[in-house]
Amino acid sequence: MPVINPIVSQPTGEGGMRGPCADWPVQWTCDLETLNPAVTGIAVSTATETLYALTGMRFGLCEVTLRPCRDDCGDGRFYDDFGPPWTGQYWPQPALIGGLWFNLTCGSCTSGCSCGEVSEVRLPAPVYDITEVVIDGAVLAPSAYRLDNNRILVRTDGQKWPRTNDLSADSGAGTWSVTARYGEPLPEGTALAMGQLACEVAKAAGGGDCKLPAGLQQLVRQGVTISYPDVGELFRQGRTGLYLVDMFVATWNPAGLRQRSRVYRVDRPTVRRPGT
């Protein structure tokens, strides 16, 4: 059966997303020829949004373009007891700490492990990967940088990130941007769960019989009684009544979380995300 590949688009949330960025892949579990082609696209989108919500808004990768500013450790923020900033250009440097003089062997512009400066920029976390860095309109080679701790973009080619970023211009000279992906990759089994749910949604939208519960509690025909689950209670438990779909949801969201966990630091400057 055919598989529909997802297309990545822009997220709408800070460092994440409020909805799926694109339709998820589908492995159809029914015959496509029996479905109305006019509703299959809507069925895939509906199934994507449903599974995204039922799995705690956790899965899916979204691209976002950021306009960051370089972290600068030599900006004169270190002051000794005499007042003037210590630039750390030469060492050893005398420093008065707690009434005692110390000769410090490193300047203020250092990394955590050496006396050398590390050119880096902090991005909203957690970043899945970096797809592109553009400086002055030119794409930077991926070998010139690396990602640490899912948020720190480190320059590794001996150069430094630009000190300024012209936010009044979209691209070109004086600008630079980082395109990153946020979220988690779709797990195995996504396409099958999507296929079953999309099939039933398409059947219902086309006016045919489907396996999705329609609110019917009990049916009696020719002396035979058929009982159906309470659709309201089923949905409150995060279930659909479809085997492959419910198995997928129970595997990846057993606690029934409504959304992924997030941490906010209100005192931390944010990175500019243009056009949002």
Is the separation of the CB atoms in 26 and 191 below 8 Å? yes
pLDDT band at 9 (very low <50, low <70, confident <90, very high): very low
Mean pLDDT confidence for 170-176: 91
Mean pLDDT score of the chain? 77
CA dist 233 and 181 (Å) reads 36
CA dist 152 and 155 (Å) reads 10
* Lookup: tokens for 165: 């970023």
Q: Is the pLDDT of residue 14 over 80?
A: no
Mean pLDDT confidence for 180-200: 94
* Lookup: tokens for 123: 């991005």
- Between 116 and 189, name the one with better pLDDT: 189
Q: Strand, helix or coil at 210?
A: coil
pLDDT band at 23 (very low <50, low <70, confident <90, very high): very high
> Percent of the chain, pLDDT > 90?
42
* Lookup: tokens for 89: 């250009």
Give the model's pLDDT for residue 132.
96
Give the model's pLDDT for residue 238.
77
For the chain, percent helix, then strand, then coil, each to nearest 5?
A: 20, 25, 55
- Chain-centroid distance, C-alpha 15: 6
pLDDT in tens, 64-119: 999 998 766 544 443 334 344 444 444 566 777 767 776 665 544 555 565 667 88
CA dist 72 and 117 (Å) reads 9
Mean pLDDT confidence for 175-181: 95
Q: Is the pLDDT of residue 256 over 70?
A: yes
pLDDT in tens, 193-235: 999 999 999 988 877 676 665 555 555 566 665 555 555 566 6
Q: Strand, helix or coil at 200?
A: helix
* Lookup: tokens for 262: 């997030």
Give the model's pLDDT for residue 88.
44
- Chain-centroid distance, C-alpha 258: 16
CA dist 107 and 64 (Å) reads 36
pLDDT in tens, 121-131: 989 888 999 99
Number of H helices and number of E strands within the chain?
4, 11
Give the model's pLDDT for residue 258.
81
What are the structural domain ranges in the chain? 1-59+186-276, 64-70+119-184
Q: Verify cis geometry, omega within 30 degrees of 0, for the bond prior to 85.
A: no
CA dist 15 and 1 (Å) reads 35
